[in-house]
Structure 1
Amino acid sequence: MFWHLKKMDWFLVFLIFLLFLIGCIEIFSISKEDFFDLKKQIIFFILGFFLMIFISFFDWRTLRENSFLILGIYFFSIILLILVLFFPEIRGRKGWFEIGFFSFDPAQIAKISLLILLSKYFSLRHKELYDLKHIFISGFFVFLPAFLIFKQPDFGFFSLILFLWISILIFSGIKIRHFILLILIFSLLFGLFWQKILKPYQKERVLSFLKIKPEDHLKLGWSQRQAKIAIVSGGIFGKGIKQGFQTQSGFLPEAKTDFIFSAIGEEMGVLGISFLLLLYLILFWWLFKFSLSLESNFAKLFSQGFLAILFFEFFLHVATNLSLIPVVGFYLPFVSYGGSEIFANFICIGILQSFKTHT
C-alpha cells in the first residue's frame, strides 16, 4: 500500500488542494454564522479525496478491456438523466436528485461515462478515424445524454458534452475535411435549435448579452453587471475577507457557485485572482504533460478529454464573470461550492492516478 501511495501524483493533488483552499476561504466569507455550506464542502472534499485513492488501487486496464462495464455505466447515466426529468425543478431546471441535504446532479455521471466510452471507442479505432462512419457512430452516443441534458434544460452542460466530443475527435486525429464538415453540420443544427428548440428565456439571454434589445439588457444583464462591479471594486489587494460589498450584501448572485470568481476578485483583489489563474495554468500544463507521458491510447485520450472538460468549465466560468459570454452557469472546478462536481472530478483523477500507479 505504501508503495502504491508513493507512486501517486501528489503534486497534482497539491494543486487541487490549493484551489480548494481558495474556494473554502471565499465560501467561509460568504457563509452565515453556522458555516453549514463550508462544512459540507470540506466533507465533500475529504470524501472525494478518499474516493480518488480507492479508485487508484484498481487497475485501469480492467476498465479498458471491459466493454460491458463501460456500456453499463453509460446506460445507467442515461437512465438517471431520464428519471430526473420527472423530479421537481431545482434552481430552474429538472437536473437534480435531492437526497437529504445533498443534491445530486446525474449529468456529472453522464460526463464521466461519456469520457470513458469515447476514450475506449477511439482508442480501438485510432487508425480507422479517417472513416467518417465512426465519427457519426460516436455522435450517436453523444446525442442521447446531450439531448436529455438539453431537456432539463441546461444549455451550459449540453455545450460541455459537445465540446468533449469534439476535443476527443481532435485528440484522436480527425481529418481536416471531416472537421470542417462537422462545423457545417453544427451551424445548420444551431439554426434549427434557435428556431425550434431554444426556449424564449435562453434566446433572451443571448440577445441581452449582444445588446440587440437594450431595454431587456438592463434587466437580464443584472448578474454580470454585479460581477464586473465586484471585480473592479476589489482593486489590486481586494477589500478583505467578509468585506466585499457586492458579495456580502447579496447583490452578487450565486456567489458560492456561478460567480465565485467575481467574489474572489472583490475580496482578494487582482493578486488573488492572478494567483488563482496561475494555479489553473500550472494544473492544465501538468495534466497535458502527464497525458503525453502515457503510452496507451485509451489512457492518453481519457487524460486529454478530462483536461478539455476542466479547461472548458474554467474558461466559461471566468468568461461569464467577465461578461465575455452570456450566463451559462458553470462552476469553477475545485473552487465553487458543490458536491457532485467534486466527486465527479475526483473519480476522474482517481483513474488518472491508476494510469500512473499501474504501468
Structure 2
Amino acid sequence: MRQEQNNIFAGIDWLLVILFTILVCFGWLNIYSASKTNEDIELLSFSTKYGKQLIFICLTIPLIIIILFFNSKFYEKFSSVLYIISLVSLVGLFVFGKTINGATSWYNFGVLGLQPSEFVKAFTALAVAKLLSDRQYNFKLIKNQIKAFVIIFTPAFLITMQPDVGSALIYLAFFFVLHREGLTLNYITLGTLVIVLFVLTILFGTSWVLVSLFLLITIFTIYITYKGGKHFIRFNWHKIIAVYAIVAIFILGTGFAYNNVFKQHHRDRFEVLLGLKKDNQGIGYNSHQSELTISSGGLSGKGFLKGDLTQGDFVPEQHTDYIFSVIGEEWGFFGSSLVIILFMLMMYRVIYLAETHANKFGRIYGYSLASILFFHVVVNVGMVIGLLPTVGIPLPFFSYGGSSLWGFTILLFIFIRLDAHKNYDW
C-alpha cells in the first residue's frame, strides 16, 4: 500500500483523464480555427492566441504532476490556508491589479496575465468540503449554515467588487452542494421566487407587479378561508401583511436599483434578452451573430476551418466566451451535441466517484466540482445560443485563457487525487 502511495499515478481515474484530454484538445482546435491568420506562424508562439493556448496546455502537464504529488490529506489539512491565500489574491487586485474591459481582475506579469478568480473556485470548494465534513458540524443549525454562506459568498463579494458579476455568479453553484448535504429546498425556492419577481418587475413595472401580487394574495386568502364551507380557517393577518410588505419592499428596491443603480448597458442586456428591445447592431450584436453562426452549421457543420462566419471574424471575442459558436458552425449539431455529452459524462463520472467516497471531504469536493462544471456549461451555452444574457463566463477547457484552463485543471485534478487515495488508510 505504501509503495502504491509513492506512485503519483496509482489509483487515478483514467476515464476522467481521457475526458479532460479530449475536451482540452478539441477546445484548442476550435481556438485555432477562431484565431487563425493567413500568416505562417509557429504553433508555440506568443504572437497568436492559438500559440499562447498551446503553451498554456503544455504547462498543464507539470501543473498536474505537482497536484498529484501531494496526497489527499494535504488538501484536507491545508484547505483553510489555501482558501485564505486565495482571498488575499483577490484583495490584492485592488492594489496591484490591472484593469481590462472595465474590470480589475488581472495580475500582469509581462506577457502573462493571471486572473485569480479562476483559481479561487477550487480553494473555496476545498474550504466548503472541510467545513461540512467536520464531525462536529451540524448543518441543520442556522449558525452553521451561515458559516457555509460566509465561506461561499466572501470571494463572490470580492469578485463582484472588481466588478466581475459573471464570475461571482458561479458561486451560486454551491447551493447544489449544500442541498446534497442537507440544506432544505426553501433557500432554492426563495432564490427562484426572487428571480421570478425580478424578471416580472423588469417586464411589467413596479406598480403592475405590486397590484397583481396584492390581488393574488387576497384571492388566495379568501379561497383558503372559505374552503370547506362551515369550517372557518383563521389566519394570522399580521404575518400575511408582513410577508407582503417584505415582498413589496423587494419589488420597489428592484425597480429603483434597475433604473438608478444598473448601468445602461446592463439594462440593455436584460431588455434584449426579455424581448423588450431589439438591438442586433449594438448590445445584442454578439449574441445575434453567435446565433447566426451556430444555426449556419446545420446538422453536420461546414467542416474544420471552413466556417465562413468564423473565419470572417463576425463574432467578436469568439475564441473566449463565444467559442461554442465555432463548434456549432464547423461541427454542426452533431459536434455540439458530442461536446455536451462529453461534459455530461465528466460530471456523471465525478458524481459517481464522489458517492463512493467513505470520506465526506472527498464526496463534498466532488459535488462542488460537478456543480461548478454544470453551472459553467449551462450558463455559457445558454449565453451563446441567446437563452441567457452575456455575463462573461467561459466554457471549461475550451475558452481561450491560461487562467481558465489552469483553474479548471486544478479543480479537476485535486478531485482525481482525492479519489485515487479514497481507499488508503492514512
Partner of 1:21: 25
Q: Matches of 2:25 and 2:176 in 1, distance apart? A: 30
Cα contact 2:265–2:283 (8 A) shared by 1: no
1:320 aligned counterpart, secondary structure: helix
The reply to whether residue 235 of structure 1 matches residue 244 of structure 2 is no
Identify the match of residue 65 of structure 2 among 53, 64, 70. 53
Give the superposition deviation at 1:177: 4.2
Give the superposition deviation at 1:279: 1.2
The reply to whether residue 134 of structure 1 matches residue 138 of structure 2 is no
Percent identity of equivalent pairs: 29
Give the superposition deviation at 1:268: 1.5
Give the superposition deviation at 1:285: 1.3
CA deviations over 1:199-249 (Å, ceiling 9, x no partner): 3322321122112234x4652111111011101111122222222122111
Amino acid across the alignment from 1:241: F
More displaced 10-residue stretch of structure 1: 189-198 or 133-142: 189-198
Q: Matches of 2:121 and 2:280 in 1, distance apart? A: 33
Amino acid across the alignment from 1:283: M
Q: Matches of 2:399 and 2:169 in 1, distance apart? A: 19
Q: Matches of 2:132 and 2:284 in 1, distance apart? A: 41
Unmatched tracts of structure 2, length 5 or more: 198-249
Cα contact 2:91–2:158 (8 A) shared by 1: yes
More helix by share: 1
Cα contact 1:313–1:333 (8 A) shared by 2: yes
Give the superposition deviation at 1:320: 0.7
Partner of 2:217: none
Q: 1:125 to 1:171 in 2, by over 3 A?
A: farther
Give the superposition deviation at 1:98: 1.7
CA deviations over 1:126-181 (Å, ceiling 9, x no partner): 861111111112222233211121122211111101322x1221121113445556
Q: Matches of 2:316 and 2:391 in 1, distance apart? A: 13
Q: Matches of 1:181 and 1:236 in 2, distance apart? A: 40
CA deviations over 1:96-143 (Å, ceiling 9, x no partner): 112122221111232122111111111116861111111112222233
Partner of 1:157: 167
Partner of 1:352: 415
Cα contact 2:115–2:403 (8 A) shared by 1: yes
The reply to whether residue 327 of structure 1 matches residue 337 of structure 2 is no
Cα contact 1:209–1:217 (8 A) shared by 2: no
TM-score, normalised to structure 1, is 0.90
2:290 aligned counterpart, secondary structure: helix
Cα contact 1:118–1:168 (8 A) shared by 2: no
Q: What is the CA RMSD across the aligned residues, in angstroms?
A: 2.5
Q: Matches of 2:293 and 2:415 in 1, distance apart? A: 37
More displaced 10-residue stretch of structure 1: 123-132 or 315-324: 123-132
Give the superposition deviation at 1:3: 4.7
Give the superposition deviation at 1:316: 0.8
Q: Matches of 2:257 and 2:347 in 1, distance apart? A: 32
2:29 aligned counterpart, secondary structure: helix
Amino acid across the alignment from 1:229: L
Q: Matches of 1:59 and 1:249 in 2, distance apart? A: 48
Count of residue correspondences: 354
Amino acid across the alignment from 2:84: F
1:294-333 matches, cutoff 5 A? 294-333=357-396
Unmatched tracts of structure 1, length 5 or more: none
Partner of 1:202: 266
Partner of 1:219: 282
Cα contact 1:51–1:350 (8 A) shared by 2: no
Which structure has the larger Rg over C-alpha atoms?
2
Q: Matches of 2:192 and 2:137 in 1, distance apart? A: 22
2:133 aligned counterpart, secondary structure: helix
Cα contact 1:116–1:302 (8 A) shared by 2: yes
Cα contact 1:126–1:172 (8 A) shared by 2: no
The reply to whether residue 44 of structure 1 matches residue 44 of structure 2 is no
Amino acid across the alignment from 2:150: F
